[in-house]
Amino acid sequence: MTANEPKKHHYVPQFYMRRFACAGDENKVMVLERHRDVVVTERKSVHGIGYEERLHDFDDSGAPASIERHLNETIEAPFSQSETWLKIRDGNCAGLDGSDRMPLYGFARHLQLRNLETLRFIEAQHARYIAGEFEHELTDDEREMHATIAADPGAAHELFRAGAMDTMLPADAHTCGEPSDDTRTPGAEMKRERFVVPDIGASFTGD
Contact present, 53 and 66 (Cβ < 8 Å):
no
Is pLDDT above 90 for 193? no
Average pLDDT over residues 91-98: 96
Question: Residue range 93-111: average pLDDT?
Answer: 94
Each residue of 128-168: pLDDT tens digit?
999 999 878 889 999 999 999 999 989 999 999 999 999 88
Beta strands in 37-163 (DSSP E): 38-45, 51-53, 57-60, 63-66
Residue spans of the domains in the chain: they are 8-206
CA distance 164 to 39: 31
Average pLDDT over residues 86-101: 95
Which amino acid does the sequence have at 37?
Answer: D
What gap in Å lies between CA 198 and CA 177, rounded to an integer? 20
> Comparing 193 with 110, which gets the higher pLDDT?
110
Q: What integer pLDDT is reported at residue 147 of this predicted model?
A: 94
pTM score:
0.80
Q: Which has more pLDDT, 172 or 97?
A: 97
- Average pLDDT (30-51) is 94
Over the chain, what is the mean pLDDT?
A: 86
Residue 77 has pLDDT above 80, yes or no: yes
Q: Distance between CA 111 and CA 72 in Å, rounded? A: 13
- Residue 202 pLDDT > 50: no
